[in-house]
Amino acid sequence: MLRRQIGPTLFLLLGFSAFPLWATEVAVTTKTVKACDFALNPTLAIIKRVPHPSNWKVVIVCTDMEWDRLLMLDKRIEHISNYAFTRFSPNDPTIRPVTYIRGHLFVENPPFNYRPERVLKHELGHIFCKCMNEDTASNWADQH
Ligand SMILES: [Zn+2]
Query: Once rounded to an integer, what is the mean pLDDT over residues 34-49?
Result: 93
What's the pLDDT at 76?
61
**What SS3 state is found at 32?**
coil
Rounded to the nearest angstrom, the distance between the alpha carbon of 77 and the centre of ligand 1 is 11
Which candidate, 57, 66, 60, places its Cα nearest to that of 36? 60
What's the pLDDT at 64?
92
Check residues 18 and 47 and name the one with the higher pLDDT: 47
Rounded to the nearest angstrom, the distance between the alpha carbon of 135 and the centre of ligand 1 is 8
What's the pLDDT at 77?
54
What phi and psi values does residue 102 have, to the nearest 5 degrees? -80, 125
Whether 73 has a pLDDT exceeding 90, the answer reads no
- The contacts of residue 99 (CB under 8 Å, 6+ apart) are 56, 57, 58, 59, 84, 85, 86, 120, 123, 124, 127
Alpha carbon distance 83, 58 (integer Å): 13
What distances in angstroms separate CA 111 from CA 28, 57, 75, 117, one per listed residue? 24, 25, 26, 12
Domain boundaries defined on the chain: 2-143
Q: Hey, how many other C-beta atoms are within 10 angstroms of the C-beta on 102? A: 26
Global pTM reads 0.80
Rounded to the nearest angstrom, the distance between the alpha carbon of 132 and the centre of ligand 1 is 6
Confidence of residue 84 (pLDDT cuts 50, 70, 90): very high
Rounded to the nearest angstrom, the distance between the alpha carbon of 137 and the centre of ligand 1 is 6
Rounded to the nearest angstrom, the distance between the alpha carbon of 86 and the centre of ligand 1 is 8
Average pLDDT, the chain: 81
Alpha carbon distance 70, 2 (integer Å): 9
Rounded to the nearest angstrom, the distance between the alpha carbon of 98 and the centre of ligand 1 is 14
